[in-house]
Amino acid sequence: MFHSFKELLMNNKALGTKWEKKFCKWLASKGWWVHFITPAPDGGQPFDVIAVKNGKALAIDCKTSAKPTFSLNRLELNQKTSFNKWMRCGNLMPLVAVNYQGKLYYIKYDELKAGYVDLRKRRGITV
């Protein structure tokens, strides 16, 4: 039981950071060079991970979800702006790596422009 809203937020942040680190380790085990972007105190980093393999770079934001749908509204304005700039620079489509019920679901950023993605219609990966 949480005693305050601040305590609940701190727990959510800790769960998110744990997922980000687990995802990075898993991606590295698949042969990717992975850089975890240390969270800014204000939470304002553009995304969580840069991953490179075979000359291709990916920008990835990691999220956890208790719901089977994932909405574009879960991304902050600075993240959307950074993803758009990333693409204008000629890089691959940014991804959102969603942890839902202990499985990884990749969502391409452009898929979210429709509003939301139903994770139940996708195959999750055990990480």
pTM of the model: 0.86
**CB 70: neighbour CB atoms within 10 A?**
22
Write the CB contacts of 25 (distance below 8 Å, at least 6 apart in sequence): none
Of the CATH numbers 3.40.1350.10, 3.40.718.10, 3.20.20.70, 3.40.50.970, which one belongs to the domain with range 5-126?
3.40.1350.10
Alpha-carbon gap, residue 104 to 63, rounded angstroms: 10
Extents of the domains making up the chain: 5-126
Measured CA to CA, the distance from residue 91 to residue 71 in angstroms comes to: 23
Q: What is the pLDDT along the chain (127 residues), one digit of tens a residue?
A: 445 544 444 466 677 788 999 999 999 999 999 999 987 776 667 899 999 999 999 999 999 999 999 999 999 898 999 999 999 999 999 999 999 999 999 999 999 988 899 999 999 999 8
Whether 68 contacts 118, CB under 8 Å: yes
